[in-house]
Structure 1
Amino acid sequence: MRITALRSYMSHDGNRPRLVVAIDTDEGITGWGECYNHGPDRALPAILDYFFEQIKGEDPRRIEFLMLKLQQQARFPGGAMHLAAFSAIDHCLWDISAKAVNLPVYKLLGGEVRDKVRVYLGVYTAPDPADLLDQVMGHNEKYGLTAFKLSPYRVDFHAERWGEVVRTSAEYFRKLREMSPTHFEYAFDAHAKIYDPWQAVQLANALAPYDPLFFEEPIRPEHIPAWAEMKAKMLCPLATGESLYSRYEFLNLLSARGCDIAQPDICVVGGMLEMRKIAVLAEAHYVQIAPHNPMGPLATAVNLHFSASIPNFKILEYRLPLDAPYVKDPYLPEGGYLQLRPDRPGWGVEINEAELVRDSYVHWERKLPVKPDGSFGYP
């Protein structure tokens, strides 16, 4: 079997662009993957075309060989766009390899460790605890979901006194916890908006009495010693990893004891191979994996197979595919879990190629907050 073509398509998932990739073979098997959208998404097709020339004519089942070839051909460690492209290529190769033997991908990864994969849903729109509870109860009734992720901020923390930010966040969570079923779990994503580590510790410890599932990404990821210092002082689980790009960066974080829960992204780090190496490192440091997954339904399918096959999995981030037409049969939660599809080869989903030929790109970019003094905060 040989690789004959690479195709990339711009699609969307609601108001977010999605870049979907196909790799074709001379035996009629096509594999599918999804890139992370870091920002200049229109640049990715050209990057993918460049890397295709390095794998054209190769056997797609030699995944480790081909990913090593791509990495070494690049000479210097890849950055965000580079690794987003590698990720989608890796996904395609796994999909082809599994389809070639008529098995789900997780069967090639040592088989399933669990029969189903628990997910949590981000809910960011409700200003009042009662409104939020209405939303999560609706998701519980329809999909059985019992885990959710919120923003911790109840006021504009650039404009308000920090003590008021902490007080309002804790009061909100207290009310929500009192109103919610006792088995519901809530995580909080600070979106790396905080600059001072001591503020991150204050906010985490104000939320801690009400038992958050985890406190995610309060500060920027670059300075690992700050993460180790924060974790030592926090009274709730600290999660991070969506902005780290390789097993080497995760090794630094894990060796420093800088998190309780690691959150690598399978569309960011270079794909399934790198993701599994990160999981092994985390397991050796007694750290669980909760994959970062704000992506579309194809990325969710890839994450499902990863999550089903590793022992130190905790929970998977999930987006409802309410407007993602490029996947015909997305995985939907049942009882709060995604079920495996043992009778479906590859990723277990069917791609709607008729939809993909219609470029449905939507422009999206992060909005920078403006502080009262006119300077920018972290988005």
Structure 2
Amino acid sequence: MEVVKLNTYIVGTPKPHIGGMYWIFLSIETKCGIVGIGEIYSASFHPEVVVKATQDVFERYLKGHDPHHIERFFRECFSSGFTQRPDLTMMGVLSGLEMSCWDIIGKAANKPIYELIGGKVHDKLRSYTYLYPKDKNGVLNYDDPDLGAESAINFMEQGFSAVKFDPAGPYSIYSGHQISLSRLKHCENYCQKVREAVGDNCDLLIGTHGQLTPASAVRLAKRLEKFDPLWFEEPVPPGQSSAMAEVASKTSIPVATGERLTTKYEFFDILKNNSASIIQMNLGRVGGILEAKKIASLSEVFYAQIAPHIYNGPVGAAASIQLATATPNFLIIESIGTWDGFHSDVLMEPLDWSKGNIIPSDKPGLGIDLNLKVIEANSPYKGKKLHLSMDTKPYYVDDD
């Protein structure tokens, strides 16, 4: 079997851009006519730059090769340019191409990918969603705790048993910082409102997106412990696992992290330093399905569980579903609502979500197909913004 062709799609998402400003999908084709699809979760450069990088990696390391040879492909990319280190953009490109290889492998074997990486463990996957609180004008508003509580009730009534939110304020490029007393109180009040709204029917998942210093994170955690959250996500910026370990050692709330990390090496650093007990790899960034399986196995050794991160399109989600289905130490997986709306429109058939759970497909490969008519109608993305962005201003207490 030989890979011969690459197609890429930069798909602009409709307002309010749930899942990012755009998604980068790709497909590869073998000489015998099998097509595999993938998704790149890489946010450092404009997607046109990422597509050019993808074309280079494809021509250099994948074209003319057998898609079964995942380890060779990973090592070629990982070592590209004499690096042998977790380069974020390279690993994003690799991830999308690697999951498309697995899609081909599954289709050739007429098996879902999970049957080829250990076999089905889970018949259903518990899922959570972010809150999407809208004001009377239909605009997303994350500052009003009452709107957050209303959104939580709505998702609970749909069947979710866990909801996530970040009440800690704007994401500054100058993080971490100490948040103000008023912001600490706001976080406490927001959590209280949501907990009172859902009772013990839903777990609360608290995010901060790496905004805080360790000291500020500990102060916040102490205020939130009484609401018994399932996790405290990215309490400090990525890059120094010992700082996160300091937070983890000073709170009873389990620490979760991983959406901005890539490869087994960065996750091993987190695990060996007891920095987190819940691992949130994103399969469109981490190095692909096989690399994610290795990270899940590393986590199992440390008695940590995985909770795949998904804030992107449904192809990366489908890859995460394959991994989670075959992973003994799976905890929960991110859903973007119930996978309706544009996440459904770009697929020929939507992901199967029912009563708070994702139901793994029994179809070969990733179990999904792209709706090319919808994708072409929303391609290419013409905007200048990146997938996600941070505030360019420092955090000022008197502006909070």
**Considering the TM-score relative to the shorter chain, is it more than 0.5?**
yes
- Structure 1: which 4+ aligned runs deviate by more than 4 Å? 154-161
- Across the aligned residues of Structure 1 and Structure 2, the Cα RMSD in angstroms comes to 2.5
Whole-Å Cα distance in 1 between the matches of residues 170 and 119 of structure 2? 46
CA distance in 2, matches of 1:336, 1:351: 24
Aligned position for 2:312: 295
Alignment-mate amino acid for residue 153 of structure 1? A
Please name the residue that 2:157 is paired with.
Answer: 141
Aligned to 2:194: 176
Q: Equivalent residue for 1:284?
A: 301
Deviation, 1:126, is: 4.5
CA shift, 1:101, in A, is 1.3
Q: Which of residues 106, 109, 124 in structure 1 aligns to 2:117?
A: 109
1:293 and 1:318 in contact (8 A); partners too: yes
1:191 to 187, 199, 209: 209
How far, CA to CA, are the matches of 1:345 and 1:19 in structure 2? 22
Deviation track 1:227-280 (CA, whole Å, cap 9, x = no partner) reads: 121111112111111222221111111111111211111111111111111111
User: Given the alignment, which residue of 160, 167, 173 partners 1:152?
Assistant: 167
How high is the TM-score relative to the length of structure 1? 0.91
Secondary structure class of the residue paired with 1:187: strand
| 8 Å Cα contact 2:78-2:90 kept in structure 1 | no
> Is 1:118–1:337's contact at 8 Å kept on the other side of the alignment?
yes
| C-alpha contact (below 8 Å) 1:11/1:360 kept by paired residues | yes
Do structure 1's residue 225 and structure 2's residue 239 form an aligned pair?
Answer: no
* Aligned residue number for residue 138 of structure 2: none
Question: 1:233 aligns to what SS in structure 2?
Answer: coil
State the one-letter code of the partner of 2:71: E
- Work out whether residues 240 and 263 of structure 1, in 8 Å CA contact, stay in contact via their aligned partners in 2: yes
Unaligned runs of 5+ in 2: 133-140
Q: TM-score, normalised on structure 2?
A: 0.87
Q: Which stretch of the first structure deviates more once superposed, 265-274 or 168-177?
A: 168-177
Pairing 1:118–2:118 present: no
User: Which residue of 44, 51, 62 maps to 2:57?
Assistant: 51
Alignment: residue pair count: 373
Bigger drift between 179-188 and 323-332 goes to 323-332
Change in Cα spacing, 1:154 to 1:173, as seen in structure 2 (3 Å) is farther
Given that residues 171 and 211 in structure 2 are in contact (C-alpha distance below 8 angstroms), is that contact kept between their aligned partners in structure 1? no
3-state SS in 2 of match to 1:305: helix
2:393 is matched with which residue: 370, 373, 378? 370
Separation (CA, whole Å) in 2 of partners of 1:21 and 1:56: 14
Kindly report which structure 2 residues correspond to 1:1-379, keeping only aligned pairs within 5 A, or say none: 1-14=1-14, 15=17, 16-39=21-44, 40-53=46-59, 54-76=61-83, 77-124=85-132, 125-142=141-158, 144-153=159-168, 162-194=180-212, 196-320=213-337, 321=339, 322-324=341-343, 325-342=345-362, 344-358=363-377, 359-361=379-381, 363=383, 364-365=385-386, 366-368=389-391, 370-371=393-394
Distance 1:160 1:258, change over 3 A: closer
Report the alpha carbon displacement of residue 55 of structure 1 after superposing the two structures with TM.
Answer: 1.6
Deviation at 1:302, TM superposition (A): 0.7
More displaced stretch, 67-76 vs 36-45: 67-76
Moved more, 1-10 or 61-70: 61-70
